[in-house]
Amino acid sequence: MIGIQHIPVFRDGSFPDPKPYWVVNDPYRSKEMKLLHQLGVRHMLVGHWHNGRVFEKDGITWHVAPSTSWLPWGGELGFAMHTISADGDVHTEFVSLPGATP
């Protein structure tokens, strides 16, 4: 089972901004995580940070797509390509947009 939504539920260990704007916060985070675990979700495809990352938190791998237009903390403009295997595993490859400037 794979979930898709815009805003991640957690930050990874190197996320630079502590503002609550960037993630789903409690009590909604706890309710969502309970439901995701009940549904058997193992991967979440998310965005909102404008910076491509993949990290594991609370039994789910979070695949954060980069931005095609704006980079608040540097990085490369581009998009994410997700390959989903027959057993539901997700591999994410980030593709930069050569010559793109934010």
Give residue 76's pLDDT.
Answer: 86
pLDDT tens column, 66-81:
998 888 888 889 999 9
101 pLDDT more than 80: no
CA nearest to 8, candidates 25, 92, 84, 18: 25
Query: Could you tell me the pLDDT band of residue 53, with boundaries at 50, 70 and 90?
Result: very high
Please check whether residue 24 is in contact with residue 9, taking contact to mean a CB–CB distance below 8 angstroms: yes
Binning pLDDT at 50, 70 and 90, where does residue 31 land? very high
pLDDT digits (tens, 9 = 90+) for 1-27: 899 999 999 999 899 999 999 999 999
pTM of the entire predicted model: 0.92
DSSP state of 95: E
3-state SS of the chain is: CEEECCCCCCCCCCCCCCCHHHCCCCCHHHHHHHHHHHHCCCEEEECCCCCCEEEEECCEEEEECCCCCCCECECCCEEEEEEECCCCCEEEEEEECCCCCC
